[in-house]
Amino acid sequence: GQQLNQSPQSMFIQEGEDVSMNCTSSSIFNTWLWYKQDPGEGPVLLIALYKAGELTSNGRLTAQFGITRKDSFLNISASIPSDVGIYFCAGRDQGGSEKLVFGKGTKLTVNP
């Protein structure tokens, strides 16, 4: 099935550093979503993007819907230990399906 390419697969950073991750698709998407998953929990929605070029923030998190509609970026500024977890991108293509396509996740480790 259709998949998203999410990178990097993992990141090891020091507390206070900024983080950037991205997702790319081979097809045009109408919606991009970013989720965070803590160990033993379900994914939690962080940011939703609906328009090409849209830039949306949620606290220290900022996400952008790429102009080509085939990519999206998530940035975390001034990372803290509780940012640890797996970040997933997800998207819905322009075909109108109710189904989302998910990336395989970026595992973030923050060293105090």
Instruction: Name the minimum Å distance from CB 7 to other proteins.
Output: 13
Cβ closer to other proteins: 76 or 89? 89
- The answer to whether 87 touches 34, Cβ cutoff 8 Å, is yes
39 binds other proteins (CB under 8 A): no
Closest contact distance (angstroms) between CB of 55 and other proteins is: 18
C-alpha to C-alpha distance for 69 and 67, rounded to whole angstroms: 5
Q: Which residues of the chain form contacts with other proteins (CB under 8 A)?
A: 1, 30-31, 33, 35, 40-45, 48, 50, 88, 90, 92, 98-100, 102-105
